[in-house]
Structures are given as C-alpha cells and as structure tokens.
Amino acid sequence: MKSIVIGKTVIGEGLPKVIVPLTKFNDEDLLVELSNVKSMNPDIIEWRADFYRKVGDLPSVRHLLSEIRTEAYDLPLLFTFRTQKEGGSGDASVSYYQKLLEEVICSRKIEVIDIEWNIAKPFIDSLVDLAEKNGVFVLMSHHNFQNTPSKKEIIDRFRSMEQSGAHMTKIAVMPKDFHDVMTLMEASWDMKTKYATRPFIAISMGKLGMISRMAAGLYGSAATFASGKTSSAPGQIPIGQLRTIFDLLHKG
C-alpha cells in the first residue's frame, strides 16, 4: 500500500492518524477554535467549510483559508465542503462545488482535499489532475447517514474511488445495529488484506459505531475523526480520550 507523506505525518503507517474538525460559522470563532484544537495535538486539522457562513463568497474563503494556514503552521490541513446530501450543511450548486474546490486546490494552502465521489463524478478526472498539479492529495469520500450498505457494496465503492484516482479514500456509514458495525469493519479488513492500494478511512457513525473509531488501526482504517472543541459527526470521541484508547489498543 502506498502511504501518504505530509511532512512528519505518514498516513498508512504506524498508529491511525487523528483528524480534528473545525466547525465554526465565522472567521473570529473559527480562528479561536483552531488555536484551541492545535493545542490538543491532532495529526491533521479539517476545515469543515460547509459550516462557514460566508462559504458562498470565494474572496472570503480565500482570506480565511490564508489565516488558517498561517495559524495551523506546519499541521496538515484537510479542506472539506460536506454537501447536505451526504450529511453536511453544504447547500451549493454542483458548479459552485466544483469552483470552490478548484479555488482551494489552486491556493496551495492545504495538503488534502475531500472530494465527494457522488457529486464530483462528472468532473473527477480534472479535479484529481488539478490537485496533483498543485501538490494536493485527494481524499475521495462517500457518506451514508441513513444506513450501512452490504459488505460487497462497501468494498466496491472503496475500489471505484481508488480507480477514480484518489490518493486516499473514506467511507462513513450509519449502523442500525451492531451487525452493521461489524459489516463495516469486515469490509475494511477485506480491503486492507486483499484490495487496497491506498490508505483508507472507514467509520461506522453514531454511538453504536464508536468502537470503529477506537479500533480503527486494528481493522485497517488509516485514520479517524475525533472531536476537539466541537464535533462534526455523531459518535466522535474527544481527542484526548481517543489517544488514551489508542495507547491501550494499538501499542505494544
């Protein structure tokens, strides 16, 4: 498997990497949140720009992104605009989604960009190409807040995203019972042992799925999301507690 190297952070080797989201609505609060989150020692920071009040205005996004870059300094940054269809707050046309992502990629202020596979299908090649030209890694993602698809569907989706040029893939799904959590983990185990050529993230959301965040590295997930000052999805565990659990479950 080809790992992803961002400075000192290697995704796909060692302990699963911990990604902490920033979810505030305005510049001032977001920068305060960032400075708090930084002190919690995340491996990667995610800006969930779909929560940002001025996300529809490209100059505002550019300006705040610059400030985030300066404040984050050498911490790897992941940019995400999560659409409503996939459980986020993002309400944008497909053409604005594309424009926003292109703008952010070309700014070269981030290391990783989240691209939703479903919405970006028609222009995925050009986005991946643009990301590569600008030295940005593509995290191709799929979310299902309603249920957990079958093991085969999860594996097929992971593999299709890899084939679309992703440097890393992610699937987050909602369990209805513990069998669904096991389905997600089993699909990931098969990915890890049989198919994956790139690091991937697999998450079973909600309280039932919390175990998938705690045991990420044991079944193949190369990273997971934890809460910092706020949480961006159901079931996220505060980063400090997650690190303690990682020490118990993943170390010697």
Ligand X SMILES: O=C1C[C@@](O)(C(=O)O)C[C@@H](O)[C@@H]1O
Which residues would be at the binding site for ligand X (CB under 6 A)? Answer: 21, 46, 48, 80, 82, 114, 141, 143, 170, 172, 203, 205, 225, 232-233, 236
Quickly tell me which residue has 């989150």 as its tokens. Answer: 37
Q: For the CB of residue 19, give the shortest distance to ligand X in the complex, in Å.
A: 7
- How many of the other CB atoms lie within 10 Å of CB of 181? 21
11 vs 58: CA distance, rounded Å: 30
For residues 200-227, one letter each, b for 16 or more C-beta atoms within 10 angstroms of the residue's C-beta and e for the rest, the string is: bbbbbbbebbbbbbbbbbebbbbbbbbb
Annotated binding residue at 89?
no
For residues 119-147, one letter each, b for 16 or more C-beta atoms within 10 angstroms of the residue's C-beta and e for the rest, the string is: bbeebbeebbebbeeeebbbbbbbbbeee
Spot the catalytic one: 170, 194, 229, 250: 170
Indicate the residue among 59 and 174 with the shorter CB distance to ligand X: 174
Q: For the CB of residue 1, give the shortest distance to ligand X in the complex, in Å.
A: 20
Between strands 4-6 and 168-173, the pairing is unpaired
Annotated binding residue at 146?
no
Indicate the residue among 48 and 109 with the shorter CB distance to ligand X: 48
138 vs 129: CA distance, rounded Å: 10
Annotated binding residue at 69?
no
Measured CA to CA in angstroms, residue 67 lies from 7, 70, 110, 184 at distances of: 20, 5, 12, 37
Annotated binding residue at 162?
no
Spot the catalytic one: 17, 109, 142, 143: 143
250 catalytically annotated: no
Annotated binding residue at 236?
yes
Q: For the CB of residue 206, give the shortest distance to ligand X in the complex, in Å.
A: 9
143 catalytically annotated: yes
Indicate the residue among 154 and 252 with the shorter CB distance to ligand X: 154
Determine the Cα angle at 44 with ends 42 and 48, to 5°.
110
Residue 7 DSSP symbol: T
Q: For the CB of residue 78, give the shortest distance to ligand X in the complex, in Å.
A: 8
Indicate the residue among 98 and 212 with the shorter CB distance to ligand X: 212
- Could you list the active site residues? 143, 170
Q: Residue ranges for the binding site?
A: 46-48, 82, 213, 232, 236
Q: Which residues are annotated as a binding site for 3-dehydroquinate?
A: 46-48, 82, 213, 232, 236
